[in-house]
Chains A and B, each alone.
Chain A
Amino acid sequence: MKIAVCIKRVPDSETRVKIAADGKSLDEAGIKFVLNPYDEFAVEEALRRKEQAGAGEVAVICLGPAAAQETIRTALAMGADRGVLLQADKIPIDPFETAKLIAAELKGATWDLILFGRMAIDDYNTQVGPLVAELLGLPCVTAVSHLDIEGTKGVAEREIEGGIEVVEFPLPAVLTADKGLNEPRYPALKGIMAAKKKPLEVKPVQPGPGTLEIVALTPPPDRKEGKIVGEGAGAVGELVRLLREEAKVL
């Protein structure tokens, strides 16, 4: 099994968001960056598939700044074999530009599976996987929470509103991983040491301008100051009155 996993370096979700002086971006000072949580499911799935097959390669591909080498090392510490950093100062705001760069890199080899996380937790774009699949002309299943592969046939499950869709597809394919697909392993100390010696190729890339332009990054509107209605079951009458008369939701 030859598997590519496309990952992203994102701010930890606990990060306190401070907007930079340009009013259009995140002030990155003091921010802790991590491997996107959904990408952990993708890395884990790739490792399990390779282990089951008994042979193969798991390559990790990441578009990002030089510091994203650290993110790639996290995936290598989990057990991936090698990494490629498509190095750009900034990740394009237009996901189609990101997809074009990743697709161009993937085109250089044949893969049995190309895995992504379902979405990145910073920009919520939820689309680079399927965009890349279209650019490569490969079948794609998004938001996979269960996966069976037999030879070159796959069956995936994905959560939809009110149920689960059972989807059949042929390999090679592009899949995006949802929570529930597996339980990602923590890198062991041995893995962390080994990751330092694994190949990590850095390729500078020049993202195109794209068709999206950031106008502003702003804090969300403050929610109207809430109130504590009261304590215990005795406050329920007043709560219901407020929901009916003030909030008008009952």
Chain B
Amino acid sequence: MTTLAVLEQRDGVLRKISHEVVTAAQRLGGSVEAVVCAAAPVQGADQAAKFGADKIVTLTNPAFAKYAPEACAQALADRAKQGGYRTIVFAASATGKDLGPRVAAKLGVGVAADLTDLVTDGDALLVTRPVYAGKALLKVKVRSQPAVASLRPNVFTPVERPKAGAAETVAVNVLAGRVTVREIKAAPAGTLDVAEAQIIISGGRGLKEPANFKVLEELARAFGGRAAVGASRAVVDAGWRAHADQVGQTGKTVSPSLYIAVGISGAIQHLAGMRTSKVIVAINKDKDAPIFKVADYGVVGDLFEIVPRLTEEIRKLHG
């Protein structure tokens, strides 16, 4: 039984989320074949071996220099049809959410999407996915052959299980496709995306005005590049912060190791986006705010006194 783990690259460099995909794939038992679409050899692709890939296949085509949805989908579907894989695993990242369904449809199946758990169950795959804004978990048996799955980012912590990782490069002959990425407008250098950050400090209406987000940005900086600043829907709708930073139902779903909610009351739409965080800290002046019900640790009081003190303490820790 072989699982096909679909890796991601950007600008010729393997994306870290690929480690999670390989980690989840090897949990299914059997062997893991990692595959990545690229224009040229991918820097860091060999790392997939460290997390359990028996084989690492680079499918090359000039169209793959930027994300080419139709060409990648065709190349992966072709590979899947030849390989007889039991399961095909994607990350439920921006790219994986776009690519997974395209590949699945070509194989005549749907995607078991945004999973927080998956295990082999006899001939089937048993998966768990949060539904209804995280207020329930749906356990589903996937009987399709192959099963196509996508994994919620930051849930499957990469575990090192070194394997051979025999490298193979295959030039594939596919059409470039009708849908093409013209450019990527990158976020300013040094900004970490909330979807990928290990630590998130989110602010809400309690910040009072947009300029005050600088206290959160200072705290994020104190964590030395591991933290991103997120936002509640209220402050995004008010135009204080970009939609890219929004955590919650109409924003991003995140699962960082540490989530610090500052001046956020904790509406259900916000909780939907962050309740799978490993540790939640809430800082709010209202001791009855619903955010304290999901928080592991709460501090009640004025965020403009508490956050700068926290920043100092974190700076001390990081020397």
Contact = CB atoms under 8 A, between A and B. Distances in A.
Interface of A: 11, 13-15, 17, 19, 26, 37-38, 93-97, 99, 121-127, 129-131, 133-135, 139-143, 145, 155, 157-170, 173, 179-180, 210-220, 223-224, 226-233, 235-237, 239-240, 242-244, 247, 249-250
B159 to A, nearest CB: 17
B186 A162 contact: yes
Of A37, A162, A170, the most chain B CB neighbours within 10 A belong to A162
B110 A131 contact: yes
Contact of B298 (A140, A227, A232): A227
Main secondary structure of the interface of B (DSSP, over half): mixed
A202 to B, nearest CB: 25
Contacts of B314: 240, 250
B298 A124 contact: no
Nearest to B99: A130
Contacts of B280: 223, 226
A226 B98 contact: no
Contacts of B73: 134
Contacts, number: 261
Given A94-B110, A145-B243, A236-B309, A247 B185 contact: no
Contacts of B269: 13
A131 B101 contact: yes
What 8 A-B pairs come out closest when comparing CB atoms? A134-B105, A96-B110, A211-B144, A127-B101, A160-B94, A232-B301, A130-B101, A17-B135
Contact of B182 (A124, A168, A240): A168
A164 B243 contact: no
B268 A13 contact: yes
B133 interface: yes
B299 A231 contact: yes
A240 to B, nearest CB: 5
A225 B250 CA distance: 27
Interface residues of B, number: 93
Contacts of B132: 11, 15, 17, 26, 122
A179 B233 CA distance: 11
Contacts of A131: 101, 104-105, 110
Nearest to A120: B131
B135 A142 contact: no
B135 A220 contact: yes
Contacts of A237: 313
B257 interface: yes
B186 A163 contact: yes
A26 B136 contact: yes
Contact of B297 (A95, A122, A157, A226): A226
B140 A213 contact: yes
Nearest to A16: B135
B97 A142 contact: yes
B179 A126 contact: no
B111 interface: yes
Nearest to B253: A124
B39 interface: no
Contacts of A163: 184-187
Interface in B163-201: 177-187, 191-193, 195-196, 199
Contacts of B109: 96, 211
A169 B68 CA distance: 12
Given A127-B101, A228-B299, A229-B298, A219 B94 contact: no
